[in-house]
């Protein structure tokens, strides 16, 4: 009995000591925790949650289902010619024409009665256009109008009760927002990929000097065949038309670009109302503001668009804009660079009024600007150049350029009574320059010929390789 008491006493002492040690450290931890809470309450730190986004916020099924039904496959038939070697010795003769059908891209139905938006480069060289709907029906499409400057074209098919996409507001898109790209890459119909908006108002230099580039950049996978397809937000609204990829291989490597829906909507509206795009101009020479220009001109900002010169009778001149002003916003939309300025101006037509904020020295001034056309009027312009010339043009095809060993040109595909027929130009002639200025698109030919007054010299080459020069007074 005594021996068991001897063992019992040390055990009790051990338990008591353990309890005392635990009490001490618990009180210490509570004190440290209280101190930490006090510091957090006093210090402005960001606290992030480890809880992820709810699954329903990442559900793209509705947007995908709506988009797939409204995206079509665009196929074109192109004609190409062959020339005889005897033409080099005995002069020009009529070439032999052949045709082939190519699956070239995608399109987006924007109305139940069959209007379809696609890229100009998808259909610009076509002699016949066919679209295949998601339900496998085929229709011949008519080209309503096209605009190389924005790379947008409008098609029409004879059909009713079609599924279509509604336009969203591309100005509301945020960098980091989820989007879907829907199209027909590599002839794989109804393909949907997802990504985020990587940047806005991108200028990547894929067009000519007349091009308007203010692309939405996305990392949604886009490949050849996606051109003309839909870029949609998670609500299933059309926010862009997929147009280009940045790649050294021709396939997707992480960068894709779409024309913003606000530009597309304006262009399409003009096509339907006027048959061509109505351009609004400020009448200014501009420079991109950066650190170097800000230092050189002693500007108080490193962002915006610098007014280098103001044209007489132009919109800017009449509104009171001066050389040295910096454009900061249009109708409340911030303007940080030239692509953003182009994007905003492309949404208006001559005669419309905009509110512009300009920085003059250190003072921000708000001005009302009535936009004008290239002729410095507010009239709607209907191009009569094609009728006066008596010709229809199309951008020369790559195979023609390669065969003739030229880098660019515009082909005369049809002649009616007019100036070009009168001076002896024949169908098939590829115009390479006008008054020594290179021309790469049909629009450039029409714009240049509408602006030149006096003697006009046209240089080019026929399909047989024979070079020719023509001249007339405009």
CA 253 to chain centroid: 18
Catalytic residue among 67, 227, 329, 450: 227
End-to-end CA distance of the chain: 131
Q: Tell me whether residue 34 is one of the annotated catalytic residues.
A: no
Q: Tell me whether residue 121 is one of the annotated catalytic residues.
A: yes
d(CA 143, CA 77): 13
d(CA 60, CA 69): 15
- What are phi and psi for residue 83, nearest 5 degrees? -120, 150
**Rounded alpha-carbon distances, angstroms, from residue 137 to 60, 115, 383, 404:** 26, 16, 36, 39
- DSSP structural state of residue 396: P
Instruction: Tally DSSP H helices, then E strands, for the chain.
Output: 12, 24
Catalytic residue among 67, 124, 149, 151: 151
d(CA 252, CA 246): 7
The dihedral through the CA atoms of 445, 448, 451, 452 has a sign that is negative
d(CA 194, CA 443): 34
Give the list of residues 6+ apart from residue 84 with CB closer than 8 angstroms, or none. 93, 464
d(CA 105, CA 272): 23
H or E element: which one contains 334?
strand 333-334
- DSSP structural state of residue 386: H
d(CA 332, CA 300): 20
Longest dimension (CA), the chain: 136
Catalytic residue among 67, 121, 126, 146: 121
Contact 186/92 with Cβ under 8 angstroms?
no
Beta strands in 169-304 (DSSP E): 178-183, 191-202, 215-218, 230-233, 238-245, 256-260, 284-288
The tokens describing 204, both together, are 């990547």
357 half-sphere exposure, CB direction, 13 A CA radius:
13
d(CA 260, CA 233): 12
Q: Tell me whether residue 315 is one of the annotated catalytic residues.
A: no
- DSSP structural state of residue 352: -
- DSSP structural state of residue 167: B
d(CA 370, CA 376): 11
Using DSSP bridges, classify how beta strands 410-415 and 391-395 pair: parallel, antiparallel or unpaired: antiparallel
The tokens describing 64, both together, are 């995908």
Just list the catalytic residues: 121, 151, 227
């Amino acid at each position: 009995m005594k021996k068991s008491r001897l063992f019992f006493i040390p055990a009790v002492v051990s338990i008591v000591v353990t309890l005392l040690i635990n009490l001490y450290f618990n009180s210490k931890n509570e004190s440290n925790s209280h101190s930490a809470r006090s510091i957090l309450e006093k210090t402005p730190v960001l606290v992030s949650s480890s809880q992820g986004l709810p699954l329903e916020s990442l559900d793209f099924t509705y947007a995908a289902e709506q988009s797939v039904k409204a995206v079509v496959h665009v196929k074109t038939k192109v004609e190409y010619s062959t020339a005889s070697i005897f033409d080099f010795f005995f002069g020009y003769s009529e070439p032999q024409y052949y045709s082939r059908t190519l699956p070239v891209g995608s399109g987006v139905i924007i109305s139940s009665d069959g209007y379809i938006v696609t890229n100009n480069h998808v259909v610009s060289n076509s002699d016949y256009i066919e679209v295949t709907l998601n339900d496998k029906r085929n229709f011949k499409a008519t080209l309503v109008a096209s605009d190389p400057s924005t790379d947008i074209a409008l098609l029409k098919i004879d059909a009713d009760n079609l599924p279509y996409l509604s336009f969203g507001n591309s100005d509301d898109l945020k960098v980091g927002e989820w989007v879907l790209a829907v199209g027909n890459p590599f002839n794989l119909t109804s393909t949907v990929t997802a990504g985020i908006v990587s940047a806005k108002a991108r200028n990547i230099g894929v067009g000519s000097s007349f091009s308007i580039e203010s692309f939405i950049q996305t990392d949604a996978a886009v490949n050849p065949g996606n051109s003309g397809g839909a870029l949609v937000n998670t609500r299933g609204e059309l926010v862009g038309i997929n147009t280009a990829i940045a790649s050294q291989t021709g396939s997707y490597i992480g960068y894709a670009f779409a024309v913003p829906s606000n530009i597309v909507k304006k262009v399409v509206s003009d096509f339907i109302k006027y048959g061509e795009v109505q351009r609004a101009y400020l009448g200014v020479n501009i420079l991109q503001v950066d650190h170097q220009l800000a230092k050189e001109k002693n500007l108080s900002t490193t962002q915006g668009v610098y007014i280098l010169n103001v044209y007489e009778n132009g919109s800017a001149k009449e509104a009171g804009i001066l050389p040295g002003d910096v454009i900061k916003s249009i109708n409340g939309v911030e303007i940080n660079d030239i692509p953003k300025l182009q994007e905003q101006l492309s949404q208006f037509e001559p005669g419309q009024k905009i509110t512009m904020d300009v920085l003059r020295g250190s003072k921000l001034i708000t001005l009302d600007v009535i936009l004008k056309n290239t002729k410095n009027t507010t009239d709607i312009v209907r191009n009569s150049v094609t009728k006066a010339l008596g010709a229809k043009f199309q951008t020369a095809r790559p195979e023609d350029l390669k065969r003739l060993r030229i880098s660019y040109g515009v082909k005369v595909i049809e002649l009616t009574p007019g100036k070009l027929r009168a001076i002896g130009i024949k169908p098939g002639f590829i115009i390479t320059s006008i008054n020594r200025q290179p021309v790469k698109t049909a629009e450039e030919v029409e714009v240049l010929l509408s602006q030149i007054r006096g003697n006009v010299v046209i240089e080019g080459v026929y399909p047989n390789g024979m070079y020719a020069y023509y001249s007339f007074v405009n």
